[in-house]
Structure 1
């Protein structure tokens, strides 16, 4: 692809790097209802065959399910039942005996949601409203008032606007494990196809990290017939919680006179939970209210308090906020009750290769003595390494080296303003680049769940349309004046 191919004669080219859910959603909402300025072209750069799947929804593992009921998932906020309608149209429940959770609600396999998004994007691609460029971007550099993007195969494209929709970098490998890098029984990225294939059914497994990804690993191993002992560790020994009773509404107001400190916010949340329990409700209602009001709550906090929350409170928030599907929760509970799974509050102090396995020394929380375990495989599920996002891909490194990007002070992605434009190292907003999705989490606060990512995609699309409308209005005014 060449720059001329993309832009056409005198047109504006918007290039979205990343065609997972975030990038697909931005593209879909950019061209929705024909509101995009005439002459503008939308190109999504994504090496996968279909748009909308990304890391999260390209998995083919039947054990991997969406973590919220299907009725809360949609590409279009104005059409909340769109995914449910797709399920009915395609009869995707056929052959999926585990579709319905114990709460009576559908939790389809994650790949099904990816298929849904791809199906909604295909007509837009066929009509020429969106162009899917199957490529992996290697370099990005300034080219006058635009950008020149080069793919790994040498092809290029010119962009007037860039949307960075790359959401989840690989986990950062714990330093203590660095000497083992390349060992076949050390799994550093479970999103890679066949990542768990080297783990035998009887293998003793250490999982480092204990969130949603760790739960997926346990469920995947169980489906593969694994029966060896699993030890799962995290610094605090927390694990993702399940869903509360269906049909309960959010409870609590955290926006009126919002808390200005991390400790003040915690006090209000705890008071809300006590109030809910007094009414016979669960903590889920209160945390749902915090989630729904999360962006306003976050906006009221000074940067120092945001950083304090990201450092000290985030682990507790994540295990309550990001809940596992009932089907996966059942697997975890069964493994715990049968003692095939052990969850510890610990971190790896040292590891040594011994024979065909590893001897691992665990530093246990609130305990002086270390604990030694012997395992056959180690799986890292510590979550995306957002702190090192600017070093995770060559083109991000280019933009950072040019001074256009910098890390968010919270450690939650890329620094950007309230209009989703990155803040350059000189402190100015970069008006022709936008950050979409979770990498803007440091500014928005609550921007990891799919409903919030969808809303942010709508925001970014509207922001681009607003800029283009202003630009074309200005050109028209200049022409009239001349």
Structure 2
């Protein structure tokens, strides 16, 4: 049986950047032992790294300058100061991009977040349970969590802060699942180990993950040819060669139609160009104002953007670090990297190789290629999130959560409270981080993830009356 507690218990499921940031900001708001008890469920050894920042591949770099990465909006230099104090900038010979800004290895940011939560772990304000949650169910006004290690926790509130699901295997490749040279999830540690130096490689996907694959293979001495495909052949863009301030205001009389919003964006880009600025400045403004822009749009228009515009947004919004961009540019120039707008029509085995029929988008021509290895880098399977994790599937079966109508995660209201199958908010159950982006819009990177964690921390505090009473005496855990 769960032990009783005299302070409110908050369970945070997922201990990546979102979960750790939420715990940190709750602890900062309610300092001192006994104000609140936070239990973070995370199977990884340390909190704060998650999927994105637990990689130790040297070629995997943060795709924005270190000076723009922080857990604290009021202290933008926090991460840069951490990196400087630990001599990371000096020890990393490739830290600085062509624009003179530092783009550090992703693991460094995971180390930073881990160091920031460590004092709260040491004080006992935050508890790290190094395991996954197997099931979450309603228990009166509280929530019963059963972990995979057999432990049970009764919580007054739960924040779901898990990551997006792994990429879905394209239908044409489904029958080859388990083949040693079909890499279904390139985000797993040493996923690219089966690829030999002279292998001919097909990458399905052209975004940031694909760029990571190319950079990692290059760093490991790969010399074979690479073909990277996506339906539109869009490649992630790079950064502006010079630092620019954000340009454009899209919150004044916000658009309520996707077509009007796109027209305003194009007009603003032309205005920016007349002032000597690039499109980067306009996209930066859109990103900063993203949540206000998104929430002004009716559901129908949000869905149109997801269906028709998101690929174009992603390649401009999620830029690649200059070091990675250089690797791609050199590969294209040398003829070892080919980026195509194409789709997989058929796959068969030819000896130890794959014979792949690719259909070109523009011409419609179908041509056969021989590859030694195939890597899937299509990005998260957003629509599969409720089926990808057992406790989410159980919550859905019980009618306690539902898919977001935009197809971008889990449905929640503007207080980030989960919405059940009947459309009602579920008090005490919160969606934190990128899985709430269907409601909030831009939530895929810092600083938006940090800002949302602060927002959810405030919502949790209000729900548990922490600000007024300091304790919720009925709390158990």
- Judge same fold: TM > 0.5, yes or no: yes
- Structure 1 partner of 2:204: 208
Counterpart of 2:354 (choices 354, 358, 364) is 358
SS of match in other structure, 2:260 = helix
Which of 311, 316, 325 is matched with 1:320 structurally?
316
Shift of 1:368: 2.6
Distance 1:150 1:475 in 2: 24
2-side partners of 1:296 and 1:109: how far apart?
A: 31
| 1:225 maps to which of 221, 224, 228 | 221
Where has structure 1 moved over 3 Å in runs of 4 or more?
35-39, 470-476
Specify which of 11, 26, 35 is matched with residue 15 of structure 1: 11
- 2:293 pairs with 1:297: yes
Structure 1 Cα separation of the partners of residues 108 and 246 of structure 2: 28
Q: CA deviation at 1:178?
A: 0.6
Question: How many residue pairs end up in the alignment?
Answer: 474
SS at match of 1:432: strand
TM-score by length of 2: 0.96
1:115 CA drift (Å): 0.5
* From 55, 58, 71, the counterpart of 2:67: 71
Is 1:24–1:121's contact at 8 Å kept on the other side of the alignment? yes
**Counterpart in the other structure of 1:95:** 91
Distance in 2 (CA, whole Å) between partners of 1:24 and 1:39 is 18
**Aligned position for 1:140:** 136
Cα distance in 1 between the residues matched to 2:302 and 2:456: 23
TM-score (norm 1): 0.95
Q: Which residue of 1 aligns with 2:274?
A: 278
Aligned pairs for 1:231-380 within 5 A: 231-380=227-376
- The RMSD of aligned alpha carbons is 1.8
1:167-206 counterparts in 2 under 5 A?
A: 167-206=163-202
Q: Structure 1 unaligned runs (5+)? A: none
CA distance in 1, matches of 2:248, 2:341: 31
The alpha carbon displacement at 1:15 in A equals 0.4
Contact 1:71/1:81 (8 A) holds in 2: yes
- SS of the aligned residue for 2:358 comes to strand
Q: 2:116 maps to which residue?
A: 120
Is 1:403–2:402 an aligned residue pair?
no
1:3 Cα deviation from its structure 2 partner: 2.5
Secondary structure of the 2:427 match is: coil
How many angstroms apart in 2 are the aligned matches of 1:472 and 1:37?
A: 17
After superposition, what is the alpha-carbon deviation per residue over 1:426-449, rounded to whole angstroms, capped at 9, x for unaligned? 110011100000000100111111
SS of match in other structure, 2:192: coil
Aligned mate of 2:42, from 31, 42, 46:
46
Q: Deviations over 1:362-406 (max 9, x none)?
A: 121122321211101110011011111000110001111111111
Is the contact between residue 37 and residue 469 of structure 1 (CA under 8 Å) also seen in structure 2? no
Cα 1:438–1:356 shift into 2, 3 Å: same
8 Å contact from structure 1 (residues 262, 306) kept in 2: yes
- In structure 1, the partner of 2:78 is 82
Asked if the contact 2:33–2:125 (Cα under 8 Å) also holds between the matched residues in 1, the reply is no
* Equivalent-residue separation in structure 2 for 1:326 and 1:474 (angstroms): 48
- Please say if residues 37 and 465 of structure 1, whose CA atoms lie closer than 8 Å, have aligned partners that are also in contact: no
Offset, 1:260: 1.3
CA distance in 2, matches of 1:337, 1:272: 33
Task: Name which of 92, 104, 107 aligns with 1:108.
Answer: 104
Greater relative contact order, per chain length (Cα 8 Å cut-off, separation 6+): 2
Instruction: Tell me the equivalent position of 2:127.
Output: 131
Tell me whether 1:151 sits opposite 2:142 in the alignment. Answer: no
Alpha carbons 1:210, 1:381 under 8 Å: kept = yes
How far 1:77 sits from its partner (Å)? Answer: 1.3
